[in-house]
Structure 1
């Protein structure tokens, strides 16, 4: 008898990729998804594909209990609200324990500095609390510590049309290296684990890209792709924030850009574990190929 697998975050960029790959590897009757809105177009598509659609959210404990009935393996995508993440994640773990879930696969994050001085202090603390909560639950687990999605590059520097206007990457990332990973690689690895979860029982895996890259190198690669010179400027963070304010970027966007830029500059994402290559059985997608696909 096969495990019943539930994917949270199923309408998001990562969760949807996991579901689409799972559909090719196992019968739809073995799959379920957790969505907030049953009227969502992806939710409707899942239902049409014969996948069980369960309605709920991390803030509603009873909805989680209902969703986790009959579930053996839970793919637990981290929530996006930093300030509430630990509390919401505890709901997920407690509901999973109460409903007899056998294995949790949790999407955590990589880090180096656990101190309050880290730009990622709030994010790191919430992931540490969640990991500890999962371990204390007694449920078998696999914790996947993700490096930054390669898709974050476009979010940080703009799409092709924006870049061609400024011909500048302007971020306070200094010479920091990042082991970016495309979501499709993370999804493929997750599926390999979801279909053989007990092979990875009680393991913490660090999922990093096979290459480490600076934004100065990203500028060079994009210059070749768009056949236009794209320069890289790394200002002081105060200058960066003042400039972004001048262009009327929302404060929360400026805060996110500053936080992750400083973390990159500090080397938080310069990670070289080959756990992801091992699970995939190959190197991760080349960043040159990824950037060509994004900026061609």
Structure 2
């Protein structure tokens, strides 16, 4: 097996991927791209023998240097509210120029032929996917669902306020845990046969916001109500910066209309076990907080 490089290695998904990858691959075959190679987040991995390359998605030459001698690049997508198109294009082009064989890209899950546009996400994901397919590189596109760890960002601290308060809708979201998605990343990075495939990594079970309120009530033994708000009242209650309003509403509307409801089975097949469910996740989180 050739050298593997993970970008975004200090983020939530990157750190988990790196931890699991080290259980499968010798550290001298692993490299990471980070803005600060001396970051505390990456220090323990460097001590184990992982190569840390200073670089940035906007710095093309740094990408070329980091990708030298690398066989597979795990491209963890850039965050919203940045120039994602330029960043993703640079990584793909530099990988091609440096002789990388395969790029694995983390995209956002969506229904086929959907007209949904998530602000700051959908169009740049489509651009990255199209760029990869046209690059001549082997690619794997991993379409990630909303994370179980970030579901609360759609409805706030339900246990504190005593309710899941969101705009009305009955759609479900088949969210998945970061640990399970990291396990998929490692499977793709360490196995053959995933070249030029696209996987929809939905969780195995969908939940509506009403289902979430019911599960939290059952697990916490508190009364967590499901309450519907107008979109304006919802945004006011969430108290997010105004420039993120369309972004937040886009995700909530997508959940409420069932854009993330489909369960493909790809996640379970790739990790070889049942993914964590939303109820199992809530039980774990509530147990930790006690």
- TM-score of the superposed pair, with normalisation by structure 1: 0.92
Contact 2:184 2:270 in 1 (8 A): yes
Q: Secondary structure at the match of 2:261?
A: coil
The number of residues matched between the two structures is 287
Q: Structure 1 residues 209-218 or 120-129, which shifts more?
A: 120-129
For 2:105 and 2:111, locate their aligned partners in 1 and report how far apart those are by CA, in whole Å: 19
Match of residue 14 from structure 2 = 15
For 1:4 and 1:10, locate their aligned partners in 2 and report how far apart those are by CA, in whole Å: 15
Q: Verify: 1:194 aligned to 2:192, yes or no.
A: no
Please give the residue correspondences for 1:208-227 in structure 2 after superposition, counting only pairs within 5 Å.
208-227=202-221
Q: Structure 1 residues 251-260 or 200-209, which shifts more?
A: 251-260
For 1:151 and 1:279, locate their aligned partners in 2 and report how far apart those are by CA, in whole Å: 21
Mark the runs of 5 or more structure 2 residues left unpaired by the alignment. none
Mark the runs of 5 or more structure 1 residues left unpaired by the alignment. none
For 2:282 and 2:9, locate their aligned partners in 1 and report how far apart those are by CA, in whole Å: 25
Match for 1:163 among 155, 158, 163? 158
Q: Secondary structure at the match of 1:276?
A: helix
CA separation of 1:272 and 1:207: change in aligned 2, threshold 3 A:
same
Match for 2:271 among 275, 280, 288? 280
Please give the residue correspondences for 1:59-138 in structure 2 after superposition, counting only pairs within 5 Å.
59-82=58-81, 84-112=83-111, 118-120=116-118, 122-138=120-136
For 1:173 and 1:10, locate their aligned partners in 2 and report how far apart those are by CA, in whole Å: 37
Match of residue 138 from structure 2 = 140
- TM-score of the superposed pair, with normalisation by structure 2: 0.93
Aligned-residue RMSD, C-alpha:
1.7
For 1:173 and 1:24, locate their aligned partners in 2 and report how far apart those are by CA, in whole Å: 44
Contact 2:12 2:178 in 1 (8 A): yes
Runs of 4+ with deviation above 4 angstroms: none
Match of residue 167 from structure 2 = 172
Q: Structure 1 residues 81-90 or 137-146, which shifts more?
A: 81-90
For 1:119 and 1:171, locate their aligned partners in 2 and report how far apart those are by CA, in whole Å: 20
For 1:102 and 1:143, locate their aligned partners in 2 and report how far apart those are by CA, in whole Å: 14
Q: Secondary structure at the match of 2:174?
A: coil
